[in-house]
Amino acid sequence: MRVIATAGHVDHGKSTLVRALTGMEPDRWAEERRRGMTIDLGFAWTALPSGERVAFVDVPGHERFVTNMLAGVGSCPAVMFVVAADAGWQAQSAEHLAALDALGVRHGLLVVTRSDLADPAEARRQAYARLAGTSLAGIDAVAVSGLTGDGLPDLAAALDRVLSALPEPDREAPVRLWIDRVFTVAGAGTVVTGTLAQGTLAVGDELVAGAQRVRVRGLQTLNERTDRVHATARVAVNLRSTGRSALSRGATLLTPGAWSATDVADVRLEPAAAPQGDLVLHIGSAAMPARLRPLGSPGDLARISLARPVPLRVGDRALLRDPGRRSIVAGVRVLDVRPPPLRRRGAAAARAAQLAGVAAPAAADLLRWHGLLTGADLTAMGCPPGGRPVAGDWFADPSHWSALQRRLAALDPGLTVDAAAALLGLPDRKLAEALVAPPLTVRNGRIQPIAAAPPPAVAAVAAELAERPFHAPSAERLAELGLTGRTLATVTRSGLLLSIAKNVVLLPEAPEAAAAILRRLPGPFTVGDARAALGTSRRVAVPLLEYLDARGLTRRIDNERRVCPESSPPDPSGPGKRP
């Protein structure tokens, strides 16, 4: 199925034309039929000569209902632009064209109606003059009479040509269904409708609607029940676990976890504009108040702030309208849905310089602007990553990554990985680990220089502890080796030795080795039991047990006894210490 919207001035025969093509009444409300004009969105469908089924979204032409019109064309890939032969180009013809041009609609057909009342040549000439220079320049034209039926076969054939030129929708893409109607069906519950522009919907799918999860209870397309609907299609979705009051026109049904909702974005305005006062952003079927902050000259780059978060992606097209002047201000192309704050003087101009010249941002552009992003973030923002991540699911801009490595090398040796991540402002300790490269290494949870061999004094202590791991050298022995004061602090900070108390040092692996021995004791143990099992003195046993307590390797059960927990994840930064 394909979907096409109508456009054009009020009373130029849009609904009559749809009725003649489909044999269906697109105007849903009695008030519309009484007044003879479309007020809200209408829907009808038919099969073209090729066998392709096409659904029409019939929009109102009156200026008072332009918001409804924009809700209808916002998700449609093509348009049937209608101009009456006996009236020619009119005010709402111009506003509808401005909206379509702002949204970047490139596929369409010019239909001159009421050709039985006047020669269509002049209306066609006027329309082509107005279409020139817009996204619809050069589209084909057909003259018809909805009353007599003249030209309808040519119109159907022309629609076939237009629809065959449309790009194929991505059926594997995540769903973002802009809702244009919400109603309740007795015995079924809440039903929403919209134009499925990409992706696939199936009965049983779980979706996100606002802040809640909902499940697809049933699907219809063109009044036919189905278990699965592929884009592009007009679809009615029966939802479970939601009420009608929770949804309205402009809300969305989304694939969970696949979209980035935001209330601020950096955008390109087409054409450049510097509007004053209240504005409304139209995207899909949604319309919401918006504020615009220009980022610099010549005014084509701006930051837009919205009244509520909406699911936006890089490359999305929208338009800004001034409701006071009843005019289209500019088309909007989304460049970044997670823009950095503009707090410092000159930040807006610097941001404009970053965005300048980028017509269609890719993952590399987003990484250049943000430095670090996960693959999931990039995909949700609309730019799936290429290449390999630097750590886990994290991707990095190469220049930013190199700068982080230089900053890491300048930090004091012996920092824990967590401390280094905090100092560098990294969101994940995996990134700090991945930054470590020669001449640095990670040893016992600390970032240290690679050393060919430990200093002689350290080697002597290590040799003594290799035979008796828990017989810490005395203060006199440490002084004899020159391991006192600042020298000892440097050695322990580098991770070559572990200090558990003043002048009490062991090998870095001693805590885990001690815990393994203590776990073999038959029950709760005292300091004396531990001292005997470890073959050490009370001078070492007491601070070692306190160290093990702090790391969760042992646990007090009363003033005298301890036990070893079943599972004891070690803390590489030590007992409550952080550099």
Sequence-distant (≥ 6) Cβ neighbours of residue 133 within 8 angstroms: none
Mean pLDDT of the chain: 87
What CATH topology corresponds to 2-164?
A: Rossmann fold (3.40.50)
Whole-number pLDDT of residue 37: 37
CB-based burial label for 540 (10 Å; 0-12, 13-18, 19+): buried
Task: Give residue 151's region: left, alpha or beta (phi > 0; psi -120 to 50).
Answer: left
Alpha carbons 465 and 462: distance in angstroms, whole number: 5
Which has the minimum average pLDDT: 99-103, 277-281, 299-303, 571-575? 571-575
β-pair type (107-113, 78-84): parallel
Better-predicted residue by pLDDT, 444 or 92? 92
- Provide the β-strand partners of residue 443: 446
β-pair type (260-270, 327-336): antiparallel
What CATH topology corresponds to 456-563?
A: Arc Repressor Mutant, subunit A (1.10.10)
pLDDT band per the 50, 70, 90 thresholds, residue 239? very high
Collapsing DSSP to helix, strand or coil, 11 comes out as coil
Sequence-distant (≥ 6) Cβ neighbours of residue 33 within 8 angstroms: 25, 27
Alpha carbons 337 and 382: distance in angstroms, whole number: 9
Asked if residue 310 has pLDDT above 90, the reply is yes
Same fold, 2-164 and 260-361: no
Whole-number pLDDT of residue 29: 40
Model pTM score: 0.75
pLDDT band per the 50, 70, 90 thresholds, residue 39? very low
Residue carrying structure tokens 């923002």: 381
CB-based burial label for 165 (10 Å; 0-12, 13-18, 19+): exposed
Looking at domain 260-361, does it have CATH number 3.40.1190.20?
Answer: no
pLDDT band per the 50, 70, 90 thresholds, residue 33? very low
What are the two backbone dihedrals, phi and then psi, of residue 296, each rounded to the nearest 5 degrees? 160, 180
pLDDT band per the 50, 70, 90 thresholds, residue 243? low
CA dist list (Å): 54 to 22, 112, 198, 222: 10, 20, 16, 10
Could you tell me the two tokens for 363? Answer: 């993952």
Share of the chain above pLDDT 90, in %: 58
Domain spans in the chain, listed from the N-terminal domain onward: 2-164, 176-254, 260-361, 362-450, 456-563
**Residue range 244-301, pLDDT digits in tens:** 677 888 899 999 989 989 999 999 998 888 777 789 999 988 889 999 999 987 789 9
Asked if residue 545 has pLDDT above 90, the reply is yes
**Residue range 321-342, pLDDT digits in tens:** 888 777 888 899 999 999 999 9
Is the preceding omega at residue 271 within 30 degrees of 0, hence cis?
yes
CATH of domain 176-254: 2.40.30.10
Torsion of CA 150, 153, 155, 156, to 10 degrees: 150
Amino acid (one-letter) located at 355? L
Beta carbons of 13 and 82 less than 8 angstroms apart: yes
Whole-number pLDDT of residue 477: 92
Residue 413 CA, distance from chain mean position:
38
Asked if residue 494 has pLDDT above 90, the reply is no
Sequence-distant (≥ 6) Cβ neighbours of residue 479 within 8 angstroms: none
